[in-house]
């Protein structure tokens, strides 16, 4: 082993099917109980318990005992990004996974990526925002323009408050299904939250899938994607 961080122990943890399954299930950023994760991975509770202990020990997860339940979540956004990075390689990896489940299309269309939106809709959103000048995309890097800030403020997202957070405002996140970038960071999270609050889309129970309603999709596109400058008076 040459010098530098030792990646083998971390990767080995992710490399077990049962553990990978649990981590994937946690990718939506929510906390699940140990029992739920055990069922998710298809192993007995004892086995899952052992896995979770090791992953917490390694800093991949955080566990919080509450009553007789044990809530488990990813230790941080960095872990999520690592998992997405591995997914990016996995999806390229030769044989593209023999059987694509029936839910696969829905998952590619819209899903939660840690705490922001990913999938076709998310990629469309980002590219539309860039096209209308709300975001400035130079290569893979994103910057919110003044126009964009105004757009989101009008929409009801408090950009100024978001800026005070230590969390990056805009982050381009590589979408494993689209192979293009979508919007992450604090702004990405805020947008997804707004989508849920307005009922434009709902999460499918027990999955990462985000399903837009027909009306919600229309409104979503009207707000960000289309518009062009048809009614320039609307903004500010």
Nearest to 33 by CA among 72, 79, 78, 81: 72
Q: Give residues 70-129 in contact with DNA (rule: CB under 7 A).
A: 70
Return the one option of a copy of itself, DNA, none that residue 35 interacts with (CB less than 5 to 8 A, by type): DNA
Can you tell me the distance from the alpha carbon of 215 to that of 207, in angstroms, rounded to the nearest whole number? 22
CB nearer to a copy of itself: pick between 3 and 68: 3
Q: Give residues 7-46 in contact with DNA (rule: CB under 7 A).
A: 12, 16-18, 33-35, 38, 43-46
Return the one option of a copy of itself, DNA, none that residue 89 interacts with (CB less than 5 to 8 A, by type): a copy of itself
Q: Which of 10, 20, 40, 49 binds DNA (CB under 7 A)?
A: 49
CB nearer to DNA: pick between 48 and 122: 48
CB nearer to DNA: pick between 7 and 45: 45
Q: Give residues 95-134 in contact with a copy of itself (rule: CB under 8 A).
A: 97, 100-101, 103-104, 107, 111
Q: Is 10 in the site for a copy of itself (CB under 8 A)?
A: yes
Spell out the SS3 assignment of the chain.
CCCCCCCHHHHHHHHCHHHHHHHHHHCCCCCEEHHHHHHHHCCCHHHHHHHHHHHHHCCCEEEEEECCEEEEEECCHHHHHHHHHHHHHHHHCCCCCCCCCCCHHHHHHCEEECCEEECHHHHHHHHHHHHCCCEEEECCEEEECHHHHHHHHHHCCCHHHHHHCCCCCCEEEECCCCCCEEEEHHHHHHHHHHHHHCCCEEECCCCCEEEECHHHHHHHHHHHHCCCCCCHHHCC
Return the one option of DNA, a copy of itself, none that residue 141 interacts with (CB less than 5 to 8 A, by type): a copy of itself
Return the one option of DNA, a copy of itself, none that residue 90 interacts with (CB less than 5 to 8 A, by type): a copy of itself
Can you tell me the distance from the alpha carbon of 197 to that of 175, in angstroms, rounded to the nearest whole number? 24
Closest distance of CB 8 from DNA, Å: 10
Return the one option of DNA, a copy of itself, none that residue 51 interacts with (CB less than 5 to 8 A, by type): DNA
Q: Give residues 187-206 in contact with a copy of itself (rule: CB under 8 A).
A: none
Closest distance of CB 218 from a copy of itself, Å: 27
The binding site for DNA (CB under 7 A) comprises 12, 16-18, 33-35, 38, 43-54, 63, 65, 67-70
């Amino acid at each position: 082993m040459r010098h530098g961080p030792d990646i083998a122990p971390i990767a080995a943890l992710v490399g077990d099917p049962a553990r990978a399954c649990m981590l994937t299930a946690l990718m939506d950023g929510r906390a699940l109980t140990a029992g739920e994760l055990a069922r998710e991975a298809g192993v007995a509770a004892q086995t899952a318990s052992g896995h979770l202990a090791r992953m917490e020990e390694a800093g991949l997860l955080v566990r919080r005992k509450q009553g007789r339940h044990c809530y488990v979540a990813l230790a941080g956004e960095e872990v999520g990004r690592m998992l997405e990075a591995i997914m990016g390689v996995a999806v390229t990896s030769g044989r593209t996974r023999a059987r694509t489940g029936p839910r696969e299309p829905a998952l590619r269309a819209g899903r939660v990526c840690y705490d922001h939106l990913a999938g076709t809709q998310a990629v469309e959103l980002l590219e539309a925002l860039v096209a209308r000048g709300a975001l400035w995309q130079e290569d893979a890097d994103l910057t919110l323009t003044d126009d964009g800030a105004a757009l989101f403020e009008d929409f009801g997202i408090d950009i100024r408050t978001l800026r005070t957070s230590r969390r990056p405002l805009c982050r381009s996140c590589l979408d494993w299904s689209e192979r293009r970038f979508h919007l992450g960071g604090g702004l990405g999270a805020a947008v997804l939250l707004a989508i849920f609050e307005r009922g434009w889309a709902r999460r499918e129970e027990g999955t990462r899938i985000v399903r837009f309603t027909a009306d919600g999709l229309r409104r979503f596109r009207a707000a960000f994607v289309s518009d062009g400058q048809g009614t320039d008076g609307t903004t500010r």
